[in-house]
Amino acid sequence: MGDVDWTDTAEGLSTVGGLSTVGADRDAARTARTALAGRSVVVAGPLGSGKSHYLKAVGSSLGAVGAPHLVIQGSTALAGIEYGAIKAAGARRLIDDLDDQDEGTPPTIVVVDDAHDLDEAGALLLARLVYLRRITLVAGLTLPRSSAATVGAAGHALLELWLRGEADRLDLHLLDEATALDLLDQFDSEHLLGLVTRRALLFHASGSRALLRELATECVAAKRTGVDPLRRIRELPRWSRVETTLEAEIAQYSPDECLVLAVIEALSGIGYADARRVVAPSALEALLDEGLVHDDGTTERRLYVSPLVARAAARTLSGDALEEALSAAARSALADWHPRRSARESLNIVSRWQSARASPGEVLAPAVDDALARQLVISAARDADRLGRYDLALSFVRLGDVPLSPAATAVLRSRAMVGARDGRSAVDALVALDPSALDPATRKRVLRWALALRNRHALEDPRLREFIDRVSASAPEEDALAAEAAVADAELSALGMDWPAAVERARFALGSPTISTVTRIRASLVLALGSAYTGDWGRAEALFRAIELGTRDTVTGRTNDVTTASWTLCFEALGRMAAGADMTPVADRLPGVIDAAVLEDHRAALCVLSMAAGSMNWNSGAFTDAIADYAATALRCDLLELAIWRPVALYSHAIALHSAHRHDEAMAVFARAEREDRPHPIHEYARNLAESMLLPAEGDLAGAAAAAEQLIATSSQGTPTLESRDRFMLATLTTSDTETAERMLSLLDEADLPLPRALAEDVTARALDDEELAEQSRRHLLGVGPGWREFVAGFTGEGSPVPPLSPVSPASPGGPASRPALRIVESRVGGGPAKTTGAAPGTLSDLTEREVEIAELVAHGLSNRQIAAELFLSVRTVESHVYQARIKLGAASRRELGRLVSGEPA
């Protein structure tokens, strides 16, 4: 290092650039300053704690100020060669010139990565040079995470420097949540990974920076190619970078610890007390302390392990160690079976019965009675379904030595066929049952599943409808069946966007004295979201809160019902979004429920939670994150039970892209959604909402206005929360008049909520040209989410890069707004004179040839979708032509347009 005095340089090092480091436990510039001041440092931490990157950052900081230093890389390949790593680094002078160095020469700075892999002679040489003040050492040392492992002779030599006061020690820790999320911001700088994916990566990384980096890289690559990142994680090839990184990390664990990891994953969700009976307790405790085995925090203390980590651990086991351990676990479970045992334990037991092709009593002792055998098979088949192993579920149903009832066999077979996306076979399995031969409890379960096929899986098979009628008619006096049917009708009405009917049927179901817990929760969820849409936010909020409390462990407060908690959060996010209510309660609970779903690898819940995250982020104005969340939702809707939501997720994705001013991408996603949707009310509603928001940027105001009118035709049926938004869009796409303003203000009598009020004030202010009211609207908009403020700005042009719209004139068959309506509006808002607009009706000669052709088909009763199919046009194009024809003829509705074209009398 010559005769340079580095003291002044070291003091200013913090201002010099270098490799960045993330984490409160690391400051590379500070370590470099310490070395420049002549003090050695041992940087210690477990494998995966980021030591190598940190040492590179220290070297970068030294290089940034021109401080010379040697870099030595420890290696297991060189550990058997005396001074192997030192010679490989070209630092032979440390050996040759040990006794020839001048007393006044400043010490050389030596940075050693993986110092624990040095040969013993090399490690002792470096330690001796530190004692002699010939070098200043910055050495990275891996501390094994396993309590059974040691640091070796080289590690002991370096740790002795710290113990004897010859070096400082810096401990680098495994990732905490905050640091991991900061790192993900670096690895995923474009925010392509949604909230659910990010939290899943935290779980799978198990505290390792190296593993988190490789997982993030894989997931970003998957997202770019249109693959669900979570699917990529489940299907990683054997020699991927992630798997290779895992092998290096697992190598430090003892065989007992690797066996614990493999067993806990195979019996995922096993309770802590049960686990201690089947694995080495000391190894289990060590892994819990290390964070590789995760405890769900409930009173049962259910245990989980990342499947990636467990898979790598299982590969290290010799012979049949894992199979023997799982067989012992099955026998232990049967000897002390209780209903709190995990479904995966049932799967383990039934898999052994199946593979042995023998009766349960012959395979595992003690003997199993028929009732328990049936319970185990049903639980195992459902778990196989949830894991996507539909072939396995079907094979369990065929186990001849387990006497399942015809109804249980039919339902399990039907569930498996739904998972395999074979809807016809799913119905075949069910409709063969004779409802009159079923006992009341079984009849209720069969009806519940049949109704789920009709609603959630959207199977429109006439045989299924006839079967549902037969089941309901087989015991019309059973109150429980009536409640099941009422809830199913409520869900169907909700999917049909008939929310008043949904609310009515849900209330009827909740009034049943024999309603089951599951059915009560479903009814409450429909009633909660329906109350939000119909304007009763107080009731909605209370219901959401009650349902949410019911999903928590009564002692620990942790989520113990992932399915219900996920749907509750999704519905609550949608309700708060529509009302303009505070989204903080959703934001506070969402990470914890996602974590619970990730532990269970609950694929349906992960999809639903992605939708909830998208709604939350859009409402918060975090459009880039919302884009990632909605895109992930669409990718995860591959389960048949969620297939109906895929077009909705795609339309939501398009809206989020548009909100982020990425319009070309938005239109591409919109086109994909339009290809995949079908004649279903919820798809048509989502498409019309997307068109209302996207088409103005295409210059198609008439098409956007037509879509907004379609929305109003749907949402005006007793849903003031939705109608106020849709009328706002129509008013800004056309021209605000006092009739529209009066209608929007009247909606406040039904839904006086933050967003409807702000939108009503905006429309009324423009109708009355009232700047004071406009300012009041802007103030109220500050109380709703930033997403809605961007939404309003996109239509009005205020504070947005989107230019203000040039409204088209609305159809006004009644001429200018009536004086009574104007007086009512003025009395409600205290405004001045209003602007009135109107247009004289035209004649058929004013229509284009295409408009006449489409109007005549309207007159014959065809829907827009049917017309589009007939004329080989898009639905959007047909809607635009219908709207233009109505404007030109002054037709207030499609029916009136058809009457005017056909010449029928009024």
If you write DSSP's letter for every residue of 722-751 in order, what string do you get? HHHHHHHHHHHHS---HHHHHHHHHHTTT-
**Homologous superfamily of domain range 15-171:** P-loop containing nucleotide triphosphate hydrolases (3.40.50.300)
Q: Given a cut of 50, is residue 821 above it in pLDDT?
A: no
The DSSP code for 642 is G
Instruction: Report d(CA 225, CA 221) in Å as an integer.
Output: 7
What are the pLDDT digits (tens) for 573-603?
999 999 888 899 999 999 999 999 999 999 9
Instruction: Report d(CA 800, CA 823) in Å as an integer.
Output: 33
Instruction: Report d(CA 621, CA 626) in Å as an integer.
Output: 8
Tokens of 466: 């006839």
Instruction: Report d(CA 304, CA 297) in Å as an integer.
Output: 11
Q: Given a cut of 80, is residue 18 above it in pLDDT?
A: no
The amino acid present at 157, given as its one-letter code, is A
Specify the pLDDT at position 669.
96
Q: Given a cut of 80, is residue 657 above it in pLDDT?
A: yes
Give the residue ranges of DSSP H helices in 601-719: 603-619, 623-636, 646-659, 663-676, 681-694, 701-715
Of 33-42, 355-364, 408-417, highest mean pLDDT: 33-42
Candidate from 242-246, 355-359, 550-554, 632-636 with smallest mean pLDDT:
355-359
Specify the pLDDT at position 264.
95
Q: What is the dihedral of CA 324, 328, 331, 335, to 10 degrees?
A: 180
Give the orientation angle of helix 390-397 with respect to helix 370-386, to 10 degrees: 160
What are the pLDDT digits (tens) for 287-304?
998 889 999 888 889 999
Candidate from 87-101, 127-141, 167-181, 348-362 with smallest mean pLDDT:
348-362
73 in helix, strand or coil?
Answer: strand
Instruction: Report d(CA 692, CA 687) in Å as an integer.
Output: 9
Instruction: Report d(CA 480, CA 486) in Å as an integer.
Output: 10
If you write DSSP's letter for every residue of 254-285 in order, what string do you get? -HHHHHHHHHHHHTTT-BHHHHHTTS-HHHHH
What are the pLDDT digits (tens) for 686-705?
999 999 999 988 888 889 99
- Give the Å distances, CA to CA, from 855 to 250, 478, 575: 70, 50, 37
Alpha-carbon 574 to chain mean position = 15
Q: Given a cut of 60, is residue 742 above it in pLDDT?
A: yes
Around Cβ 898, how many Cβ atoms within 10 Å?
19
Question: Is 253-336 CATH 1.10.10?
Answer: yes
- Give the Å distances, CA to CA, from 297 to 33, 269, 280, 726: 43, 12, 21, 44
Candidate from 178-192, 413-427, 446-460 with smallest mean pLDDT:
446-460
Candidate from 52-56, 73-77, 425-429 with smallest mean pLDDT:
425-429
770-795 average pLDDT score: 85
Candidate from 32-46, 281-295, 744-758, 817-831 with smallest mean pLDDT:
817-831
Instruction: Report d(CA 318, CA 165) in Å as an integer.
Output: 44
Q: Given a cut of 50, is residue 897 above it in pLDDT?
A: yes
Q: Given a cut of 70, is residue 802 above it in pLDDT?
A: no
Instruction: Report d(CA 484, CA 860) in Å as an integer.
Output: 39
Instruction: Report d(CA 658, CA 27) in Å as an integer.
Output: 41
pTM of the full structure: 0.82
Specify the pLDDT at position 41.
96
32 in helix, strand or coil?
Answer: helix
What are the pLDDT digits (tens) for 32-66?
999 999 999 999 988 888 899 999 999 999 998 88
Among 224, 229, 275, 284, which residue's Cα sits nearest to residue 253?
284
Tokens of 104: 């006044």
Instruction: Report d(CA 875, CA 117) in Å as an integer.
Output: 68
What are the pLDDT digits (tens) for 255-267?
999 999 999 999 9
What are the pLDDT digits (tens) for 456-474?
666 677 888 888 888 888 7
Tokens of 536: 């009763």
616-639 average pLDDT score: 93
* Structural domain boundaries in the chain: 15-171, 177-249, 253-336, 337-404, 844-902
What are the pLDDT digits (tens) for 99-156?
665 555 678 899 999 999 999 999 999 999 999 999 999 999 988 876 666 788 888 9
Give the HSE-up count for residue 788: Cα atoms under 13 Å, Cβ half-sphere: 31
Specify the pLDDT at position 526.
95
- Domain 844-902: assigned CATH number: 1.10.10.10
- Give the Å distances, CA to CA, from 333 to 326, 327, 345: 10, 10, 8
What are the pLDDT digits (tens) for 608-627?
999 999 999 999 999 999 99
Q: Given a cut of 90, is residue 385 above it in pLDDT?
A: no
Per the model's pLDDT, the better-predicted residue between 70 and 897 turns out to be 70
Backbone angles phi, psi at 109, to 5 degrees: -85, 125
Rg for the chain, CA atoms, rounded: 34
- Give the Å distances, CA to CA, from 159 to 71, 132, 156, 162, 865: 19, 17, 5, 5, 76
The amino acid present at 147, given as its one-letter code, is S
Specify the pLDDT at position 680.
85
Q: Residue 827 — very low, low, confident or very high, per pLDDT cuts 50/70/90?
A: very low
Q: Given a cut of 60, is residue 392 above it in pLDDT?
A: yes
Instruction: Report d(CA 46, CA 44) in Å as an integer.
Output: 7
Q: How many Å from the N-terminal Cα to the C-terminal Cα in the chain? A: 100
Q: Given a cut of 50, is residue 533 above it in pLDDT?
A: yes
Q: Given a cut of 50, is residue 818 above it in pLDDT?
A: no
Answer whether 253-336 and 844-902 agree in fold.
Answer: yes
Contacts 24+ apart (CB under 8 A), 643-646: 643/457, 643/458, 644/456, 644/457, 644/458, 644/495, 644/680, 644/682, 645/607, 645/611, 646/676
Around Cβ 22, how many Cβ atoms within 10 Å?
18
Specify the pLDDT at position 451.
84
Query: Cβ(831)–Cβ(773) under 8 Å?
Result: yes
Tokens of 113: 């990565």
Query: Cβ(36)–Cβ(62) under 8 Å?
Result: yes
Specify the pLDDT at position 524.
95
Percent of the chain with pLDDT over 70: 87
Mean pLDDT of the chain: 84
Instruction: Report d(CA 213, CA 188) in Å as an integer.
Output: 10
Specify the pLDDT at position 450.
86
| Neighbouring residues of 398: CB distance < 8 A, sequence distance ≥ 6 | none
Buried b or exposed e, range 532-553, using 16+ CB within 10 angstroms:
bbbbbbebbbebbeebbebbbe
Instruction: Give Dmax over CA atoms of the chain in angstroms.
Output: 115
Q: Given a cut of 70, is residue 190 above it in pLDDT?
A: yes
